[in-house]
């Protein structure tokens, strides 16, 4: 569904991503793992069309994305839930969700989709009139994912959804990601939380200093000596 080949991405003279490749097939959870500053968010921004200087090839359903604007990519079904949630703090939960339905396709089905999101996240329904800024970190993350779903993604890209959350909430967010896959959604999951991510992902790529250094089936990576040593501290 999504294919990245030989991707280089730059901020001015700084090269943040070097020759990266990645593939996501329909219905999979694919993880992109790596430490701070590895280049994970840069790859996400390149997929979404938010980086000015990119070389290489990114395609979605066999169409090259290079000529499409960020907005057109969302229309095509590529939806990013950014790191740090980036909700509108002084809008209510429901208003934030409504802001997600900004494409033509999604606007037409806004009401049905809000009901779907409320079904997936009953907590958001209970708090639909509450200002986003007064929600807990976990609730805000649910709201950010819900807002992403309102854009009717074919692939949803979650950039570090568990960042800064307490362990119980981290577990809940991972359960939600699995639920999304069970609903038929395709997920690209960006994470630093290696062990828990590999437990729910189908396949994973490890990024270090802008390069993909390891890749494979999540289950195999979880048992690989190299991954255990480098990432799991075993």
What does the binding site for ligand ATP look like in residue numbers (CB under 6 A)?
11, 14, 16, 34, 36-42, 83, 192
CB 157 to ligand ATP: min, Å: 12
Q: Which is nearer to ligand ATP, 123 or 211 (CB)?
A: 211
Tell me which residue of 91, 83, 79, 94 sits closest to 39, measured CA to CA: 83
Q: In what order do the strands lie in the sheet with 2-11?
A: 14-24, 2-11, 53-60, 63-64
Which residues are CB-contacts of 2 (< 8 A; sequence separation ≥ 6)?
Answer: 22, 23, 24, 47, 58, 59, 60, 78, 155, 186, 188
CB 206 to ligand ATP: min, Å: 11
- In degrees, rounded to 5, the angle at the alpha carbon of residue 176 between the alpha carbons of residues 93 and 167 is 95
Q: Which is nearer to ligand ATP, 15 or 57 (CB)?
A: 15
Q: Which is nearer to ligand ATP, 9 or 29 (CB)?
A: 9
CB 47 to ligand ATP: min, Å: 12
CB 192 to ligand ATP: min, Å: 6
Location of structure tokens 């999604």: 106
Tell me which residue of 60, 63, 52, 66 sits closest to 153, measured CA to CA: 60
């Amino acid at each position: 569904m999504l294919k990245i080949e030989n991707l280089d991405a730059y901020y001015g003279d700084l090269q943040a991503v070097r020759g990266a490749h990645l593939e996501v097939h329909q219905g999979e959870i694919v993880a992109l793992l790596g430490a701070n500053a590895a280049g994970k968010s840069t790859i996400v921004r390149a997929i979404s069309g938010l980086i000015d200087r990119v070389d290489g090839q990114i395609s979605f359903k066999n169409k090259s994305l290079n000529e499409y604007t960020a907005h057109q990519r969302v229309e095509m079904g590529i939806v990013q839930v950014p790191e740090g949630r980036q909700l509108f703090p002084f809008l209510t939960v429901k208003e934030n969700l409504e802001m997600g339905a900004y494409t033509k396709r999604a606007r037409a089905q806004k009401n049905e989709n809000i009901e779907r999101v409320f079904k997936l996240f009953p907590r958001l329904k209970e708090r639909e009139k509450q200002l986003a800024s007064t929600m807990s970190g976990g609730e805000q993350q649910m709201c950010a994912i819900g807002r992403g779903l309102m854009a009717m993604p074919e692939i949803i890209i979650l950039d570090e959804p568990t960042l800064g959350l307490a362990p119980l909430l981290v577990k809940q967010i991972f359960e939600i990601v699995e639920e999304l896959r069970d609903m038929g959604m395709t997920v690209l999951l960006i994470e630093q939380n290696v062990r828990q991510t590999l437990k729910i992902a189908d396949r994973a790529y490890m990024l270090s200093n802008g390069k993909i250094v390891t890749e494979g089936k999540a289950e195999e990576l979880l048992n690989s000596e190299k991954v255990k040593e480098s990432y799991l501290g075993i």
